[in-house]
Amino acid sequence: MIVLGIETSCDETAAAVVTDDRRILCDQILSQDDHHRTYGGVVPEVAARAHLEHLDGVVAAALDGAGVAFDDLDGVAATAGPGLIGGVIVGVMTAKGIALARGLPFVAVNHLEGHALTARLTDDVAFPYLLLLVSGGHCQLLVVEGVGAYRRLGTTIDDALGEAFDKVAKMLGLGYPGGPPVEAAARDGAADRFALPRPMRGREGCHFSFSGLKTAVLHTVNGLDQPPAAGDVADLCASFQAAAGDVLVDRCAHALDTFAAAHPDSGTLVVAGGVAANAYLRGRLDALAQERGVRLVAPPARLCTDNGAMIAWAGIERLRMGLTDGLDFAPRPRWPLDPDAPPVGYAGVKA
């Protein structure tokens, strides 16, 4: 089985061709960072227009790089939500057009399921497993019981960690996107210099909070010389990253207790999403996994950020189960993996 996957949920225009024996024949990603850097964040209309302008070329490059034609495909999958609705519509309509013109099955993929199943593409992880999904828009802990079967243990009650990285970078003049420059600056910093809060650490449950941590960084920045010296920037980045790591470890430890009680014979912690590309945070989670005697699976950094390969693979997983979608499928700006999870009633929550 050969499937084309299309991803346009945010600011990467991506397409990939993947086989059901877990081979990525070609994975094309066109970053929009230059489009959004001036604004310090993603502008939805700018993103949608860039997807519309470049997606056809990215799809053509993916097929050419894979050495296949449309007639060689067994299906086409596209991110159909959640995400910036303008970009999602561009990807879905392109995939529907290909499916209709070529008589192919169309699969509408939940973007979060793409991240959730990436570990099965890269490491053939068996169900069930515990997933930490951590990105610019989402921060959740879920039990992955099967394709389409997710049980949410915790989510952010305010902001996602990836957003916090972006905001900290903006405060310190490090540019956009914020994750890589904050991580790079933190390598030369003293993580114990600034006393920052660890929101939710030690509390029951598995929910996250990062708004207070962002505010503490802002107050710290305002107390420094302007512009801050390079040493101050490095120390503050290291202190922020250490605080984030402490929170992730604490919340994941609680989730591992819950997961082990329900699945005593399963022992895999998967971390996915853009923030999972952070080497320091991976190291903290790996130390927790070793302490608990479980396996940590973190996909390669390229497959942690948004990409078409994860969408193609999710399409393959669904096609194996005979699951396809009609051409009347409506793109969704919100699409929780666990629709039965109780809502968390705070402003800005992306459930």
Mean pLDDT, residues 57-81:
98
Find the helix packing angle between 161-171 and 211-222, rounded to 10°. 10
Q: Please state, for a pLDDT cut of 90, what percent of the chain lies above it.
A: 90
Same structural domain, 65 and 13: yes
Q: Classify residue 28: in a domain, yes or no.
A: yes
Q: What is the pLDDT of residues 316-333, one digit of tens each?
A: 999 999 999 999 999 999
For position 36, what pLDDT does the model report?
66
Domain total in the chain: 2
Same structural domain, 283 and 311: no
- Asked if pLDDT for residue 351 goes beyond 60, the answer is no
- Asked if pLDDT for residue 306 goes beyond 70, the answer is yes
Give the CA distances from residue 278 to residues 43, 135, 178, 312, in Å, rounded to whole numbers and listed in that order: 24, 11, 11, 24
For position 347, what pLDDT does the model report?
45
Q: Classify residue 327: in a domain, yes or no.
A: no
Residues 6+ apart with CB under 8 A from 222: none
Q: Classify residue 197: in a domain, yes or no.
A: yes
Same structural domain, 153 and 235: yes
Same structural domain, 174 and 37: no
Give the confidence band of 47 by pLDDT, cuts at 50, 70, 90: confident
Contact 276, 299 (CB under 8 A): yes
Q: Classify residue 349: in a domain, yes or no.
A: no
Q: Classify residue 170: in a domain, yes or no.
A: yes
Same structural domain, 243 and 227: yes
For position 41, what pLDDT does the model report?
73
Query: What pTM value is reported for the model?
Result: 0.94
Top-confidence residue, 11 or 299? 299
Give the confidence band of 176 by pLDDT, cuts at 50, 70, 90: confident
Q: Classify residue 253: in a domain, yes or no.
A: yes
Query: Domain limits at 233?
Result: 127-300
Same structural domain, 140 and 219: yes
The torsion defined by the Cα of 291, 292, 297 and 302, in degrees rounded to 10, comes to -50
Same structural domain, 162 and 195: yes
Q: Classify residue 193: in a domain, yes or no.
A: yes
Same structural domain, 94 and 235: no
Q: What is the pLDDT of residues 195-241, one digit of tens each?
A: 999 999 999 999 999 999 999 999 999 999 999 999 999 999 999 99
- Asked if pLDDT for residue 39 goes beyond 80, the answer is no
Same structural domain, 141 and 71: no
For position 343, what pLDDT does the model report?
85
Contact 144, 127 (CB under 8 A): yes
- Asked if pLDDT for residue 22 goes beyond 60, the answer is yes
Q: Classify residue 347: in a domain, yes or no.
A: no
Structure-block tokens of residue 101: 């013109």
Give the confidence band of 298 by pLDDT, cuts at 50, 70, 90: very high
Same structural domain, 279 and 313: no
CATH number at residue 238: 3.30.420.40
Give the confidence band of 44 by pLDDT, cuts at 50, 70, 90: confident
Same structural domain, 52 and 188: no
Top-confidence residue, 136 or 253? 253
Same structural domain, 85 and 173: no
Contact 116, 144 (CB under 8 A): yes
pLDDT, mean over the chain: 95
